[in-house]
Chains A and B, each alone.
Chain A
Amino acid sequence: MDDLNLLGPQLALLIGAAYIIIVDVLLPLAGREAYGQRRLLLPGLAVLAAAGSAGWSLALVLTDERGEAFDGMMTVDDFTLFFNFLFAGVAGVIVLGSVDFLDRNRFRAEYLALILAAAAGMSLMAAGTDLIMIFVALELQAIALFALVGISKSDSGSEATLKFLLLSAVSTAITLYGMAYLFGLSGETSLDGIASYVANTDENRSALVLAAVFLTAGLGFKMAVVPFQMWVPDVYEGAPTPITAFLSVASKAAGFAVVMRIFLVALGEGIVTTDWAYLFAAIAAVSMTVGNVLALVQGNIKRMLGYSSIAQAGTILIGLAAVAAEDPQLLLGTSSVVFFLGAYAFTNIGAFLAIIAISHKIGSNEIDDYAGVAKRSPLLALGLAACLFSLTGFPPTAGFIAKVYVFNAAVQADLVWLAIIGVINSVIAAYYYLRVVLNMFARDPETDDAFQPNPYLGVALAAAVIGLFAIGVYPTPLIEASESAARVFG
């Protein structure tokens, strides 16, 4: 029972997913009127499942339940719990933001169930402490996401799905190859077992480096960093916008969570640590630069945010590079990564929610068509502007603290050069983020029709915006959460 208790947050999501499918099948039997309630009933159930998951995590926190489950396959610790909250919250908000989209899609129940399943998979990725478990979790969320990307069955959606599926398959194979190396060398699949092998060996250095490179490449796909980012723009553009938001926040965070687990635990000590730290530093520098430069020239706001998310992933990697660089900052680097992921979740989700609402009304994702949105819907425009300012890193928003915290980790780890590349990239990023703000505020709209988002999305957006200001003004709670998540690796 203890095992199940620890698995509770994920179980809540999966049970919710199953329940939604069942209700959807049974609902026509309850009569026409009940069937008409589908529009809100099913998303309501999904939000309930997410809330239940978060509530369960909260119960685990309050009762101070921690520990391994299922013979060490997964571990519930502060790190796991942080991501449990993150994924449950993101899933709930994405559901709220999908109400409009679902009116135009007949796979309502499937869509919601898949989101919950994917969130459960991501949550398990963060919890997994065994290669087998991690791989299964990885597949669970990946398969759910394939279906979600193509769920609107449009041409661009199908193209996106195919691209996503093929490249994801390749990356999974590469990840598996890296895992196979670790298993082959150490004879263990548990991360602790591998760690004790790696920490005590002087041999097989090149094989370990190779394993690290394969894992980086395979998981780099999930984190969406250069040079494993090719899928991002097309998939982000082709997928339904709520799913794009889900990919850019949750899927990316899950990738980072797994990377932290594997690299910090299994490869955390021993002969290859500085090797992968510099590998991450290089990837961070390239991702930031390539992502930002390509984002500059995008006309489609979803593509722009796609490239920008590549750049943001690069910024997050700075923290990971700081973990094992010249002057290792294990706790600070990890804590800055976790904090950034949390802050980024609020910010990017908020940006996508605003885009969902605006694009739905103006019928376009082109940045040029955002002209004068501030006149037609001042609150939405302000909400999007707040998120974009946070993405740029302006105070007093979450993005500001997150960037300062990550750069601080870099400076302390003697990676000043990387911090400088990071800040120069912030300037480039300011250019394309602010372009959207300028379009909304300083240009005149073609029509003066005012519009409002639907209330569910409005509430979610307001929560995200309030959250990003709250973190910006009073970051201590999130910092403390990140710090205790980081101590898991200490």
Chain B
Amino acid sequence: MLTFAIFFPLLGAVLIATLPKAQERSAKHIAAVTTAIVLGVVAYLFIDYDRGAGGYQFLDSSTWLDSAPDISDFDLNYAVGLDGLSLPLVLLTAFLGLVSVLISWRIELRPKEYFAWLLVLETSLLGVFSSLDLVLFFLFWEVELIPMFFLISVWGSGNRVYSAWKYVLYTFFGSAFMIVGILTLGFTAGTFDIRELAEVGSFDGAIIPAWAIFTLLSIAFLVKMPVVPFHTWLPDAHTDAPTAVSVILAGVLLKMGGYGILRMSFSIMPEQASDANVIFAIIAAVSILYGAMMTLIQTDLKRLIAYSSVSHMGYVLLGTSSIGVVGLTGAATQMVTHGLITGMLFALVGMVYDRAHTREIGQLRGLATRMPFITAMMLVAGLASLGLPALAGFAAEVTIFLGTFERHEALTIVGVLGVAFAAGYILWTVQRVFWGEPDPKWAELTDATEWWERGPLIALTAAIVAIGVYPAWVMDLLHDGVAPIAERLA
């Protein structure tokens, strides 16, 4: 079932790739059906997951490469499964996968290739969150770069080639170290299985110091998240990526970093994670403040949201630095809510850009009268982003602060300042762009009226409100997911 969900998009991609040129318009239909089926399957898994039993479920495994025992224990296994931490992220991926296909409905440039790459991307992302084997995890992690590389460089805007390149090289740089870390871990423990590695506990006997392994592993995740000072790829990639890719990038890709920190660095090497918690908290605080301040000077809507992502992902790191179950739950929840909220913000900005052909805040004014629906949606997403109670962001951020305050009082207060900034930049931006005297230049603009525009937005709003009003339906699950990690850290 899970394996089916992971590879079904790939099947769709192959199908699209083999379409005859005359049929290329049906690519989007195939993509929509494929992602909808995946979402259905994943939603079924989400409901079917036995919360009482907990742990990893829906396990699938088989030997992928079995090397001879007299030569090395370099065995690679295909092993996937979901627990409380990965399940919500997989659901998020499947959901945003469908959203990204729908909001790409008007893609005219080489649609076959576009939707095929989008589906390949979905397979790699589902694989990252489902892998229970380090090498398999790494494989999916790397595969993701190829579709992103093409999607940004071919269908992007502005300085797309440069941005695609920067994105790939930054991630590749991080993952280069990760593979050495993974091989060292595997060699020391004699297995690449994440579950078995988590039982090892101490890696003091490894051929290189344990903290070095921890660093090798974590760099890749910190780059991906991203935290200051490894964040500079993010504004470029976001700004120049096509809308749907921005949605996936903000919504899912950044979470790979946070997920990696929790699943690999923290749960496999808890000792080193505990030692590093102050460093993580400091990096987090810097990211939160720096990201928030950078938003204030942005003139491009996408860049602004990109920097707000840096700030918001800082909360995730701050939550993990608490090394307690509350903070970790908050961090995991923040990943899900940020995925929904920022994904929605990017979708909205994309719609504005499609109509006005500019994202310059200075040029946009009084759009509310022209596009009331988009404005309303923007308000929902914006308020959720700044942490308004009853919307998704609030639950996550409060939990993070609660969890972290005991351990890092001063740094948590710095983090809370970020929320104040967020209120400032979000409201200010909404005011500048949507309110004010309508500019006659924009008199011709239309609202979002198509089903494929309104549908995803309404679904995103529903999800944001659902988590905001009754967070327990995901938070309980995430709590159960991070609880074993927190136990090891204690």
Contacts and interface: CB of A to CB of B under 8 A. Distances in A.
Given A332-B74, A442-B153, A420 B169 contact: no
B483 interface: no
Contacts of A408: 72, 74, 183, 186-187
Contacts of A441: 150, 153-154
B146 A389 contact: yes
A442 B154 contact: yes
Interface string A2-45: 00000000000000000000000000000000000000000000
Contact of A407 (B145, B149, B153, B180): B180
A476 B138 CA distance: 19
Interface in A409-449: 409, 411-412, 414, 416, 419-420, 423-424, 426-427, 430-431, 434, 437-438, 441-443
Contact of A416 (B68, B150, B172, B208): B208
Contact of B164 (A401, A409, A438): A438
A337 interface: no
B108 interface: no
A121 to B, nearest CB: 30
B340 interface: no
A414 B71 contact: no
A475 B65 contact: yes
A395 B153 contact: no
Interface in A35-62: none
A396 interface: yes
B435 interface: no
A434 B208 contact: no
Interface in A152-206: none
Contact of A483 (B71, B140, B143, B154): B71
Contacts of B164: 438, 442
Nearest to A409: B72
Nearest to A484: B68
B177 A423 contact: yes
A281 to B, nearest CB: 15
A483 B139 contact: no
A409 B135 CA distance: 15
A490 B142 CA distance: 35
Given A394-B145, A408-B187, A441-B150, A400 B139 contact: yes
Nearest to A403: B179
A430 B208 contact: no
A323 B71 CA distance: 12
A407 B179 contact: yes
Interface in A319-363: 327, 329, 331-332, 335
A483 B68 contact: yes
B176 A404 contact: no
B180 to A, nearest CB: 5
Given A394-B142, A394-B146, A442-B161, A476 B66 contact: yes
B149 A434 contact: yes
A411 B149 contact: no
The residue among A423, A487, A490 with the most chain B CB atoms within 10 A of its own CB is A423
B184 interface: yes
Contacts of B184: 411, 416
B168 A423 contact: no
A479 B66 CA distance: 9
A419 B180 contact: yes
B207 A416 contact: yes
A486 interface: yes
B312 interface: no
B65 A479 contact: yes
B173 interface: yes
A396 B179 contact: no
The residue among A414, A430, A443, A490 with the most chain B CB atoms within 10 A of its own CB is A430
A414 B143 CA distance: 28
A408 B67 CA distance: 12
A479 B64 CA distance: 12
Interface string B42-69: 0000000000000000000000111110
Nearest to A420: B180
B444 interface: no
Contact of A411 (B138, B145, B150, B187): B187
Contacts of B207: 327, 411, 414, 416
A400 B142 contact: yes
A486 B71 CA distance: 9
Interface in A238-256: none
B230 interface: no
B105 interface: no
A395 B139 CA distance: 6
Contacts of A332: 71-72, 74
A475 B66 CA distance: 9
Given A408-B187, A434-B149, A442-B164, A424 B176 contact: yes
Interface string B160-177: 110011001100110011
B450 interface: no
B70 interface: yes
A395 B161 contact: no
The residue among A327, A389, A441 with the most chain B CB atoms within 10 A of its own CB is A441
Contacts of A412: 72, 187
A394 B207 CA distance: 27
B169 A427 contact: yes
Interface of B: 64-68, 70-72, 74, 135, 138-140, 142-143, 145-146, 149-150, 153-154, 160-161, 164-165, 168-169, 172-173, 176-177, 179-180, 183-184, 186-187, 207-208
29 contacts: A327-B207, A395-B138, A395-B143, A396-B139, A405-B74, A407-B179, A409-B72, A411-B180, A411-B187, A411-B207, A412-B187, A414-B207, A416-B207, A419-B180, A419-B183, A423-B176, A423-B177, A426-B176, A427-B176, A430-B168, A431-B165, A442-B153, A442-B154, A442-B160, A442-B164, A474-B64, A475-B65, A476-B65, A483-B68
Closest 5 CB pairs of A and B: A423-B176, A442-B153, A395-B139, A331-B71, A332-B72
Given A411-B184, A487-B71, 9 more contacts: A332-B74, A394-B142, A395-B139, A401-B65, A420-B180, A423-B179, A427-B169, A442-B161, A475-B65
